[in-house]
Structure 1
Amino acid sequence: MTASPPPAQPRNPLHGVTLEAMVVALAAHYGWAGLAQRLPVRCFQSDPSVASSLKFLRKTPWARAKLESLYLFMLRELKRAPQRP
């Protein structure tokens, strides 16, 4: 018996995006201070780094959910922003 491949998720914007990619993109877009303001957790406020953030987010489901929500919000913001020539 062979395992069937997972179903495609063409409408899921988080499909295939790693947690690390989300943290890096958010930190690049908002900066660590802006990220700490939008998501007030210690891993973004005190000596922030990608590694410490990933360690915390992997252990804390509520924080990961908030980070994913902020990432989706950022994607919508970028999509709505007028394109510059």
Structure 2
Amino acid sequence: MKHSTDQTDPSAVPAEPAPAAPLKQRHNPLHGITLETIVTELVAHYGWAGLAEQIPLHCFSKDPSIASSLKFLRKTPWARDKVEGLYGFMQREQRRSAT
């Protein structure tokens, strides 16, 4: 019968601290922005019909909602890339028109 002790197992490997954010994220304009924020801002800017015109996906044209769009985009990397690309384009256009 073993008794529990407060001593640590000498063969156990000490846990390493979590790595800092990758350096490539420093220049990523989407770092820290949630997919929900992206979709919400795109819908506010283009509307559902305009968004479906820009990116022809059923989640934007057939009974669209933020929740259903997020569910689809989280499972479909190529569609998420298109949405993130459009968001970047929209952000650049807004900065240009502000100056």
CA RMSD of the aligned region, Å?
1.3
What secondary structure is seen at the aligned counterpart in 2 of 1:81? helix
Taking CA–CA contacts closer than 8 Å with sequence separation of 6 or more, which of the two structures ends up with the larger relative contact order?
Answer: 1
Query: In the alignment, residue 43 of structure 1 is paired with which amino acid?
Result: C
1:69 maps to: 85
2:18 maps to: 3
Give the length in aligned residue pairs. 83
Percent of paired sites with the same residue: 61
Query: In the alignment, residue 57 of structure 2 is paired with which amino acid?
Result: V
Instruction: Give CA deviations for 1:10-38 in whole Å, capped at 9, x if unaligned.
Output: 42110000000000000000000000000
When Rg is computed on C-alpha atoms for both structures, the one with the higher figure is 2
What secondary structure is seen at the aligned counterpart in 2 of 1:2? coil
1:18 maps to: 34
What displacement does 1:2 show? 1.6
2-side partners of 1:66 and 1:49: how far apart?
A: 18
1:41 aligns with 2:90: no
Stretches of structure 1 that go unaligned for 5 or more consecutive residues are: none
Stretches of structure 2 that go unaligned for 5 or more consecutive residues are: 1-15
What displacement does 1:82 show? 3.6
Q: Runs ≥4 in structure 1, deviation > 4 angstroms?
A: none
2-side partners of 1:77 and 1:26: how far apart?
A: 13
